[in-house]
Amino acid sequence: MQAYRNLYVLIVGGLLAFSSLRKQPTAITTLIVSVLFALFAYKNLDAMYDTTQQRFATIEAIKQFDASGTNAASLKQTRDLLEPTLTPATYGSVRATHVTSDVLTIAALWAMEFRRRRLKRTTPAQ
């Protein structure tokens, strides 16, 4: 999950840096970048969904594992230490955070575009 988050942060940072360095307003470029980012964000969220499902399945398998036999006492002790720490984020919270970041990123792209347009109107032609 952390790898998907890191990739997402890297892409958002790159997009915002790219957009902040552009000098001329071009709505078509901003539109294309926005659509491509939305597609990336959708697939990234889908990967996070799969990872969340895998995490919950793994936790359930650990909880259902039969710890009987010769090592039962040590397995129970290990399980008692580990199980309370296995609390992955729910998909709802992952989705809410992701979608909020997506909307804010696209809003920032368009805010920079509108700022470039406003500056172009107020700056005298040379």
Q: What is the pLDDT of residue 81?
A: 86
Listed in sequence order, the residues at least 6 apart from 95 whose beta carbon sits closer than 8 Å to its beta carbon are 45, 49
pLDDT at 125: 64
SS3 string, 7-56, reads: HHHHHHHHHHHHHHHCCCCCHHHHHHHHHHHHHHHHHHHHHHHHHHHHHH
Q: What is the pLDDT of residue 114?
A: 95
- Mean pLDDT for the stretch of residues 98-117: 97
Instruction: Read off the pLDDT of residues 4-41 as tens digits, 9 standing for 90 and up.
Output: 999 999 999 999 999 999 989 999 999 999 999 999 99
Task: Give the C-alpha separation, 15 to 29, whole Å.
Answer: 12
Domain total of the chain: 1
* pLDDT, average across residues 100-113: 97
Tens of pLDDT along 44-102?
999 999 999 999 998 888 888 776 777 778 788 888 888 888 888 999 999 999 999 99
Say if pTM beats, i.e. exceeds, 0.85: no
Question: Which domain covers residue 91, as residue numbers?
Answer: 2-122
